[in-house]
A and B are shown apart, each in its own frame.
Chain A
Amino acid sequence: MITSTPPPPLALHHLVKIFTQGSKSIRALNGVSLTVEPGEFVAIMGASGSGKSTLLHAMAGLTDINQGSVYVEGQDLAKFSDAELTRFRRRKIGMVFQAFNLIPSLTAEDNIQLPALELKDVNERTERVLQRLGIHERRRHKPDALSGGEQQRVAIGRALIMEPAILLADEPTGSLDSQTGQDICRLLRELSANEGRSIVMVTHEPRVAMWADRVIVFKDGICLSEFKPEGNRNAETIALQYQHALQANASDITA
Chain B
Amino acid sequence: MKTVLRLAWAHVQDHPLRLILTSLATAAAAAMVIWVVSGYDALLTTFDEYSNLALGRYELSIAPINHFSQVAPGAIPSPAEKFVPEYALDYLNADPAVRVADPMWVPRVSVSPYVAPGAAAPPSRRLPDVRVVGTLAEAAPFDLVRGRWINTHDTNKHEAVMSASAAAAYGTDIGGHILLGDAPHQTKIEIVGLVNTPDVEGWSASVARSQMMTPGIGGLFISMPLLEQISAQTRRISFIGVGLKPEADLTSFRFQWSPRLSQLSTPSQFQEAHDIEEALDESASAENLKMQAQTATVVSMLAALFIILSTLNMGVSERVRQLAILRAVALTRFQIASLILVEALLLATIGFVVGCVSGWVIMWSALKSAPELLYDGAVVGTFSILLAAVCAYGGALLASLWPAIRAMRVRPLEAMGSFSQEKEAKLSRLQFISGSALIMIYPIIAHVWVHHDQAPFALYMFTGVLTTAAGFILWSPGMVVLVDRFCSPMLARLLRIPPKLLLSQISASLARTVSTAIALTIGLGLLIAIHVWGHSMLSGFLPGAWAPDALIAFRPDGIDPQTAKKSASWDGVRKALPIIVEQPRLKQDLTNSAKRATVVRQDNIVLVGVNAQSAFDSSNPLFQFEWVDGHAQKAIELLQSGRACIVPDHFLREAKLKVGDSFELVPPEKPEQVVSYTIAAAVKMPGWHWQTKPTGMRTRTHRSAALVFANYHQVEADFQFKNASHIWCNYDPALTSPTKLAGYAQQLLSGAIGKPVAIGDSPVDQPYIQVTTIEEIRDIVRSHSRQWLWVLSRLPIVILIITTVGVLNALLASVQARRWDMGILRSLGFTRSMLVRLVVAEGVLIGLVASILSLGFGILAGWCGAGISRYISFFGGMNLELIIPWPEVLSGMLAVILLSSLAAAWPAFSLGRTKPLELLQQGRSTF
CB-nearest residue of chain A to B10: A105
Expressed in whole angstroms, the Cα–Cα distance for A132 and B402 within the complex equals: 43
The verdict on A53 contacting chain B, using a C-beta distance below 8 Å, is: yes
- Known contacts A57-B413, A117-B2; A90/B329 CB under 8 A: yes
**Which of B329, B411, B416 is A158 in contact with, Cβ under 8 Å?**
B329
* Contact between chains at A82 and B332 (CB < 8 Å): yes
- Known contacts A82-B333, A97-B416; A117/B6 CB under 8 A: yes
B1-28 CB mask vs A (1 if < 8 Å, else 0) is 0110011001101100000000000000
The verdict on A195 contacting chain B, using a C-beta distance below 8 Å, is: no
Expressed in whole angstroms, the Cα–Cα distance for A101 and B332 within the complex equals: 18
Give the residues in chain B near A110, CB-CB below 8 Å. 6, 10
Expressed in whole angstroms, the Cα–Cα distance for A110 and B333 within the complex equals: 21
Give the residues in chain B near A170, CB-CB below 8 Å. 416
Give the residues in chain B near A103, CB-CB below 8 Å. 7, 10, 322, 325-326
The verdict on A114 contacting chain B, using a C-beta distance below 8 Å, is: yes
CB-nearest residue of chain A to B327: A86
Expressed in whole angstroms, the Cα–Cα distance for A31 and B329 within the complex equals: 27
Min distance, Cβ B325 to any Cβ of chain A, angstroms: 5
The verdict on A172 contacting chain B, using a C-beta distance below 8 Å, is: no
Give the residues in chain B near A105, CB-CB below 8 Å. 7, 10-11, 13-14
Give the residues in chain B near A17, CB-CB below 8 Å. none
Give the residues in chain B near A114, CB-CB below 8 Å. 3, 326, 329-330
* Contact between chains at B416 and A57 (CB < 8 Å): yes
* Contact between chains at B329 and A115 (CB < 8 Å): yes
A118-146 CB mask vs B (1 if < 8 Å, else 0) is 10000000000000000000000000100
CB-nearest residue of chain A to B334: A83
Expressed in whole angstroms, the Cα–Cα distance for A158 and B415 within the complex equals: 15
Expressed in whole angstroms, the Cα–Cα distance for A104 and B924 within the complex equals: 13
The verdict on B255 contacting chain A, using a C-beta distance below 8 Å, is: no
B305-337 CB mask vs A (1 if < 8 Å, else 0) is 000000000000000011001111111111000
* Contact between chains at A115 and B330 (CB < 8 Å): yes
Give the residues in chain A near B14, CB-CB below 8 Å. 104-105
Give the residues in chain A near B10, CB-CB below 8 Å. 103, 105-106, 110
Expressed in whole angstroms, the Cα–Cα distance for A40 and B30 within the complex equals: 61
* Most chain B CB inside 10 Å of its own CB: which residue of A62, A95, A105: A105
The verdict on B454 contacting chain A, using a C-beta distance below 8 Å, is: no
**Which of A53, A62, A118 is B412 in contact with, Cβ under 8 Å?**
A62
* Contact between chains at A86 and B415 (CB < 8 Å): no
A58-95 CB mask vs B (1 if < 8 Å, else 0) is 00101100000000000000000011001101100001
Q: Which residues in window 195-238 of A have CB below 8 A to B?
A: none
Min distance, Cβ B923 to any Cβ of chain A, angstroms: 13
Expressed in whole angstroms, the Cα–Cα distance for A106 and B12 within the complex equals: 11
CB-nearest residue of chain B to A81: B332
Expressed in whole angstroms, the Cα–Cα distance for A118 and B3 within the complex equals: 7
Expressed in whole angstroms, the Cα–Cα distance for A161 and B386 within the complex equals: 46
Give the residues in chain B near A118, CB-CB below 8 Å. 2-3
Expressed in whole angstroms, the Cα–Cα distance for A12 and B333 within the complex equals: 26
Expressed in whole angstroms, the Cα–Cα distance for A118 and B331 within the complex equals: 11
The verdict on B927 contacting chain A, using a C-beta distance below 8 Å, is: yes
- Known contacts A57-B413, A117-B2, A118-B2; A104/B927 CB under 8 A: yes
Give the residues in chain A near B7, CB-CB below 8 Å. 103, 105-106
The verdict on B156 contacting chain A, using a C-beta distance below 8 Å, is: no
* Contact between chains at B3 and A117 (CB < 8 Å): yes
Min distance, Cβ B717 to any Cβ of chain A, angstroms: 92
* Contact between chains at B3 and A53 (CB < 8 Å): no
* Most chain A CB inside 10 Å of its own CB: which residue of B2, B326, B412: B412
Give the residues in chain B near A86, CB-CB below 8 Å. 327, 330-333
* Contact between chains at B2 and A101 (CB < 8 Å): no
The verdict on B891 contacting chain A, using a C-beta distance below 8 Å, is: no
The verdict on B925 contacting chain A, using a C-beta distance below 8 Å, is: yes
Give the residues in chain B near A101, CB-CB below 8 Å. 321, 325, 415
A145-189 CB mask vs B (1 if < 8 Å, else 0) is 000000000000011000000000010000000000000000000
CB-nearest residue of chain B to A106: B10
- Known contacts A101-B321, A110-B10, A114-B3; A95/B329 CB under 8 A: yes
**Which of A53, A83, A115 is B416 in contact with, Cβ under 8 Å?**
A53
Expressed in whole angstroms, the Cα–Cα distance for A90 and B331 within the complex equals: 8
**Which of B322, B326, B332, B412 is A87 in contact with, Cβ under 8 Å?**
B332
Expressed in whole angstroms, the Cα–Cα distance for A95 and B416 within the complex equals: 11
Min distance, Cβ A160 to any Cβ of chain B, angstroms: 12
Min distance, Cβ B922 to any Cβ of chain A, angstroms: 10
B257-298 CB mask vs A (1 if < 8 Å, else 0) is 000000000000000000000000000000000000000000
Min distance, Cβ A246 to any Cβ of chain B, angstroms: 25
Min distance, Cβ B337 to any Cβ of chain A, angstroms: 12
Expressed in whole angstroms, the Cα–Cα distance for A90 and B334 within the complex equals: 15
Expressed in whole angstroms, the Cα–Cα distance for A158 and B332 within the complex equals: 17
* Contact between chains at B925 and A83 (CB < 8 Å): no
Q: Which residues in window 10-61 of B have CB below 8 A to A?
A: 10-11, 13-14
Give the residues in chain A near B330, CB-CB below 8 Å. 86, 90, 114-115
Expressed in whole angstroms, the Cα–Cα distance for A249 and B72 within the complex equals: 88
A20-60 CB mask vs B (1 if < 8 Å, else 0) is 00000000000000000000000000000000010001001
Min distance, Cβ B859 to any Cβ of chain A, angstroms: 45
Min distance, Cβ B696 to any Cβ of chain A, angstroms: 74
Give the residues in chain B near A63, CB-CB below 8 Å. 413
Give the residues in chain B near A60, CB-CB below 8 Å. 328
Give the residues in chain A near B321, CB-CB below 8 Å. 101
Expressed in whole angstroms, the Cα–Cα distance for A158 and B326 within the complex equals: 12
Give the residues in chain A near B416, CB-CB below 8 Å. 53, 57, 62, 97, 170
Give the residues in chain A near B925, CB-CB below 8 Å. 104, 144
Min distance, Cβ A135 to any Cβ of chain B, angstroms: 18
Expressed in whole angstroms, the Cα–Cα distance for A84 and B13 within the complex equals: 31
Min distance, Cβ B870 to any Cβ of chain A, angstroms: 55
CB-nearest residue of chain A to B922: A144
Expressed in whole angstroms, the Cα–Cα distance for A107 and B415 within the complex equals: 19
Q: Which residues in window 760-783 of B have CB below 8 A to A?
A: none
Min distance, Cβ A44 to any Cβ of chain B, angstroms: 15
Expressed in whole angstroms, the Cα–Cα distance for A82 and B327 within the complex equals: 10
Expressed in whole angstroms, the Cα–Cα distance for A83 and B330 within the complex equals: 10
Expressed in whole angstroms, the Cα–Cα distance for A118 and B332 within the complex equals: 14
Min distance, Cβ A171 to any Cβ of chain B, angstroms: 10
Min distance, Cβ B43 to any Cβ of chain A, angstroms: 48
* Contact between chains at A95 and B328 (CB < 8 Å): yes
Min distance, Cβ A146 to any Cβ of chain B, angstroms: 12
Min distance, Cβ B918 to any Cβ of chain A, angstroms: 14
Expressed in whole angstroms, the Cα–Cα distance for A95 and B412 within the complex equals: 12
Expressed in whole angstroms, the Cα–Cα distance for A117 and B2 within the complex equals: 7
Min distance, Cβ B314 to any Cβ of chain A, angstroms: 15
B85-99 CB mask vs A (1 if < 8 Å, else 0) is 000000000000000
Min distance, Cβ B332 to any Cβ of chain A, angstroms: 4
Expressed in whole angstroms, the Cα–Cα distance for A101 and B321 within the complex equals: 8
CB-nearest residue of chain A to B13: A105
Expressed in whole angstroms, the Cα–Cα distance for A70 and B496 within the complex equals: 59
* Contact between chains at A97 and B415 (CB < 8 Å): yes
Give the residues in chain A near B6, CB-CB below 8 Å. 106, 110, 117
Expressed in whole angstroms, the Cα–Cα distance for A95 and B324 within the complex equals: 13
Min distance, Cβ A144 to any Cβ of chain B, angstroms: 6
Give the residues in chain A near B326, CB-CB below 8 Å. 103, 114
CB-nearest residue of chain A to B413: A62
Min distance, Cβ A8 to any Cβ of chain B, angstroms: 23
Give the residues in chain B near A106, CB-CB below 8 Å. 6-7, 10
Expressed in whole angstroms, the Cα–Cα distance for A158 and B330 within the complex equals: 10
Min distance, Cβ A84 to any Cβ of chain B, angstroms: 9
CB-nearest residue of chain A to B12: A105
Give the residues in chain B near A62, CB-CB below 8 Å. 328, 411-413, 416
Closest 3 CB pairs of A and B: A105-B10, A105-B14, A117-B3
Q: List 6 A-B contacts (CB under 8 A).
A: A82-B332, A89-B328, A90-B329, A103-B326, A114-B329, A158-B329
Could you list 8 further interchain pairs (A-B, Cβ under 8 angstroms) beyond the known A62-B411, A89-B329?
Answer: A89-B328, A90-B330, A103-B325, A110-B6, A115-B330, A117-B2, A118-B2, A144-B925
